[in-house]
Structure 1
Amino acid sequence: MPHSAPTRTARTTRIARTAGTGRTARPELDRGVPVLMVRIGHYPSSHSPIGAIRSFGRLGVPVHAIVESRWTATAASRYLTGVHVRPTTGSEPDAELVDTIRSVARSIGRPAVAVCTDDESACLLAEHAAELAPDLLLPPVPADLPRRLADKGGLDRICREHDVPAPRSATPADLPELLDAARDLGYPLVLKNLAPFSRLAHPMVGHTTVVRHESELRALDPGGHRSLLLAQEFLPPEHCEDWFTHLVCGPGGEPLLVFTGRKERAWPPGGGSTTLAHSLPNPELAALAAGLCRRIGYSGIADLDWRHDRRDGRYKLVDFNPRQGAQFRLFETTGGIDVVRALHLWLTGRPVPDAPQLVRRFRVGRLDLLSAAAHAWHDRRPPRHLLPVRGTVRAWACRDDPLPMLLETAHSAGTNAARAAGQVKNRIGGKN
Structure 2
Amino acid sequence: MSVVVPAIAAGSSLACIRSLGRKRIPVIAAGESPDSPAFASKYVTERASLPAPNEDLDGYRDGLLSLAERPDVETIVPLREPESYVLSENRATFAEHVATPWPDAETMASARDRSRLFRRAEEVGVPTPKTALLTEWDDWDDETVVKSRYTVCVEDGKTAYPGVRFLSEEPDADRIADEMGHVPIAQECIPDGTEYGFFALFDHGEPVVTFQHRRIRSYTYSGGASVFRESVSKQKLREHGVRLLSALDWHGPAMVEFRRDPRDQRFKLLEVNPRFWGSLQLAVHAGVDFPYRYYQLANGVRNPDYGYTVGTGSHILRGELVYLVSLLRDDYEHVERPSVPLEVARVLRSLLTDPNFDYLSTDDPDPFRRDVSNLVSEFAPSGAKPVRRAVSAALGK
Q: Distance in 1 between matches of 2:25 and 2:118?
A: 38
Cα–Cα, structure 1 residues 38 and 136, in superposed 2: closer, same or farther, change >3 Å?
Answer: farther
Query: RMSD value over aligned CA atoms?
Result: 2.9
The residue type equivalent to 1:34 in the other structure is: S
Report how far residue 209 of structure 1 moved: 4.5
Report how far residue 80 of structure 1 moved: 0.8
Any idea what the Cα deviations from partners look like across 1:104-123, whole Å, max 9, x if unmatched? 2224x324222111122113
- The structure 2 residue matched to 1:304, chosen from 235, 243, 256, is 256
Report how far residue 93 of structure 1 moved: 5.8
- The structure 1 residue matched to 2:362, chosen from 399, 417, 427, is 399
Report how far residue 132 of structure 1 moved: 0.6
Report how far residue 197 of structure 1 moved: 4.1
Cα–Cα, structure 1 residues 392 and 256, in superposed 2: closer, same or farther, change >3 Å?
Answer: farther
Query: For residue 36 of structure 1, what is the aligned residue in structure 2?
Result: 4
Aligned length: 366
Query: For residue 232 of structure 1, what is the aligned residue in structure 2?
Result: 187
Please tell me whether residue 167 in structure 1 is matched to residue 116 in structure 2: no
- The structure 1 residue matched to 2:99, chosen from 124, 137, 140, is 137
Please tell me whether residue 249 in structure 1 is matched to residue 192 in structure 2: no
Query: For residue 68 of structure 1, what is the aligned residue in structure 2?
Result: 32
Cα–Cα, structure 1 residues 260 and 290, in superposed 2: closer, same or farther, change >3 Å?
Answer: same
- The structure 2 residue matched to 1:126, chosen from 88, 94, 108, is 88
Report how far residue 376 of structure 1 moved: 8.1
Any idea what the Cα deviations from partners look like across 1:247-290, whole Å, max 9, x if unmatched? 11112x11111111100111133231011101011122112111
The residue type equivalent to 1:152 in the other structure is: R
- 2:57/2:159 contact within 8 Å kept: no
**TM-score of the superposed pair, with normalisation by structure 2:** 0.82
Please tell me whether residue 89 in structure 1 is matched to residue 47 in structure 2: no
The residue type equivalent to 1:349 in the other structure is: G
Q: Distance in 2 between matches of 1:219 and 1:271?
A: 28
Please tell me whether residue 281 in structure 1 is matched to residue 233 in structure 2: yes
Please tell me whether residue 78 in structure 1 is matched to residue 78 in structure 2: no
Cα–Cα, structure 1 residues 223 and 308, in superposed 2: closer, same or farther, change >3 Å?
Answer: closer
- The structure 2 residue matched to 1:47, chosen from 11, 15, 27, is 11
Please tell me whether residue 204 in structure 1 is matched to residue 173 in structure 2: no
Q: Distance in 1 between matches of 2:13 and 2:82?
A: 15
- The structure 1 residue matched to 2:148, chosen from 163, 168, 193, is 193
- 2:68/2:97 contact within 8 Å kept: yes
- 1:376/1:382 contact within 8 Å kept: no
SS of the equivalent of 1:386 reads helix
Q: Distance in 1 between matches of 2:175 and 2:358?
A: 34
Q: Distance in 2 between matches of 1:376 and 1:69?
A: 30
Q: Which has the higher contact order (CA 8 A, sep 6+)?
A: 1
- 1:35/1:62 contact within 8 Å kept: yes
The residue type equivalent to 2:201 in the other structure is: V
- 2:115/2:149 contact within 8 Å kept: yes
Query: For residue 423 of structure 1, what is the aligned residue in structure 2?
Result: none
Cα–Cα, structure 1 residues 268 and 190, in superposed 2: closer, same or farther, change >3 Å?
Answer: farther
Q: Distance in 2 between matches of 1:51 and 1:261?
A: 16
Say which structure is richer in helix. Answer: 2
Please tell me whether residue 354 in structure 1 is matched to residue 305 in structure 2: yes
The residue type equivalent to 1:79 in the other structure is: Y
Please tell me whether residue 325 in structure 1 is matched to residue 288 in structure 2: no
The residue type equivalent to 1:348 in the other structure is: N
Q: Distance in 2 between matches of 1:68 and 1:255?
A: 33
SS of the equivalent of 1:358 reads coil
Q: Distance in 2 between matches of 1:417 and 1:167?
A: 41
The residue type equivalent to 2:249 in the other structure is: G
- 1:346/1:352 contact within 8 Å kept: no
Report how far residue 64 of structure 1 moved: 1.1
Query: For residue 243 of structure 2, what is the aligned residue in structure 1?
Result: 291
Cα–Cα, structure 1 residues 371 and 70, in superposed 2: closer, same or farther, change >3 Å?
Answer: closer
Please tell me whether residue 152 in structure 1 is matched to residue 114 in structure 2: yes
Report how far residue 211 of structure 1 moved: 4.2
Cα–Cα, structure 1 residues 117 and 214, in superposed 2: closer, same or farther, change >3 Å?
Answer: same
Q: Distance in 2 between matches of 1:225 and 1:192?
A: 9
Identity %: 23
Any idea what the Cα deviations from partners look like across 1:315-371, whole Å, max 9, x if unmatched? 11101011101101211487x542221111222133324323023102111212332
Q: Distance in 1 between matches of 2:175 and 2:348?
A: 37
Q: Distance in 1 between matches of 2:184 and 2:375?
A: 28
Cα–Cα, structure 1 residues 332 and 224, in superposed 2: closer, same or farther, change >3 Å?
Answer: closer
Cα–Cα, structure 1 residues 299 and 76, in superposed 2: closer, same or farther, change >3 Å?
Answer: same
Any idea what the Cα deviations from partners look like across 1:88-116, whole Å, max 9, x if unmatched? 2345465x443221102224x32422211
Query: For residue 379 of structure 1, what is the aligned residue in structure 2?
Result: 338
The residue type equivalent to 1:297 in the other structure is: D
Q: Distance in 2 between matches of 1:209 and 1:416?
A: 26
Any idea what the Cα deviations from partners look like across 1:209-267, whole Å, max 9, x if unmatched? 4345668x799745577446332221111xx221101111112x111111111001111
Unmatched runs of 5 consecutive residues or more in structure 1: 1-32, 419-432
Cα–Cα, structure 1 residues 228 and 88, in superposed 2: closer, same or farther, change >3 Å?
Answer: farther
Q: Which moved more, 1:256-265 or 1:140-149?
A: 140-149
Query: For residue 267 of structure 1, what is the aligned residue in structure 2?
Result: 219
User: Residues 3-18 of structure 1 correspond to what in structure 2 (within 5 A)?
Assistant: none
Cα–Cα, structure 1 residues 245 and 202, in superposed 2: closer, same or farther, change >3 Å?
Answer: closer
**TM-score of the superposed pair, with normalisation by structure 1:** 0.76
Report how far residue 292 of structure 1 moved: 1.6
Report how far residue 373 of structure 1 moved: 5.2
